[in-house]
Structure 1
C-alpha cells in the first residue's frame, strides 16, 4: 500500500454558508474549493497548510446533517485553542486527561462531533 494521508473527509451539513462561517470564523480553517456544478455546490475547507480537507455536503448531495463522529483535530496548544473556541461561542467540553492523552470535544452547528486533541505523547 502507498496511501499517504486522507485527502477529504465529508461533513454533512444543513446549511453550507452557516457551516462555512463556523469552520472559518471559529476553527480558523480556510476555503480550499468553492464552486458550483449545476445545482450542487462543492465547498471544501481545511486548516491552513493541511493535507486533509473537509467537504461541507448537504442533504441534496445525499448526506444527513450532523451524522459525522470521530473526527479528531490535533493541536499544539489544546488549552489555548479551547479558550479561543469558547470566546468564539463554541460549546467546548474539556480539556480532559485520558490514558492516551488530553482532548476536548465540541460540535459544529449541525451537530457533527469533533475532538480537539493535544499532540500524542511519545509512544502513545
Structure 2
C-alpha cells in the first residue's frame, strides 16, 4: 500500500452535496454515469492526491454516517471565518495540547474537522 486514494462520503443527494463541497473549496474531478442509474462524483482539494467520492448506492453506508475526516489547516482561524462567511455552521475552535480543531457538517450530517498543529 502506498497512500489513501479515494474516501467515500455517503450522501442522499449527490448534486446538493457536490455544490456544498465545491463551495468549501473542493474541485470536481469527474462526474459520470456508472450504470444502474448511479453516478460517480469525485472531488478533490487543489494539488492533493487524496480525493472524495459522493456515494448514494451503498446501503451499508447511509447518508450522514461518515465521521472523523480530518482536514489539515495552516490557518484554522482564517478557514473557519471563510467557511462561516459561506454559510457553513462551524463549531468554535477547540484548542488542545495536540492542536486546534473545528468541526462542521455537510448537508447530510457527515462531519469533518479542520486541524491545525
TM-score bucket of the superposed structures, by smaller chain = over 0.9
What residue is the counterpart of 1:28 in the other structure?
A: 25
- CA distances 1:39-95 after superposition (whole Å, capped 9, x unpaired): 11000111011111001001x343300000110000111100000000101110121
What residue is the counterpart of 1:114 in the other structure?
A: 112
Where do 5+ consecutive residues of structure 1 fail to align?
Answer: none
Task: Give the TM-score normalised by structure 1.
Answer: 0.88
Q: CA deviation at 1:4?
A: 2.7
- What is the SS of the residue equivalent to 2:92? strand
Figure out how many residues of one structure are paired with residues of the other and give that number: 115
Task: Give the TM-score normalised by structure 2.
Answer: 0.93
User: Is residue 35–residue 42 contact of structure 1 (8 Å, CA) maintained in 2?
Assistant: yes
Where do 5+ consecutive residues of structure 2 fail to align?
Answer: none
What residue is the counterpart of 2:38 in the other structure?
A: 40
CA distance in 1, matches of 2:33, 2:95: 43
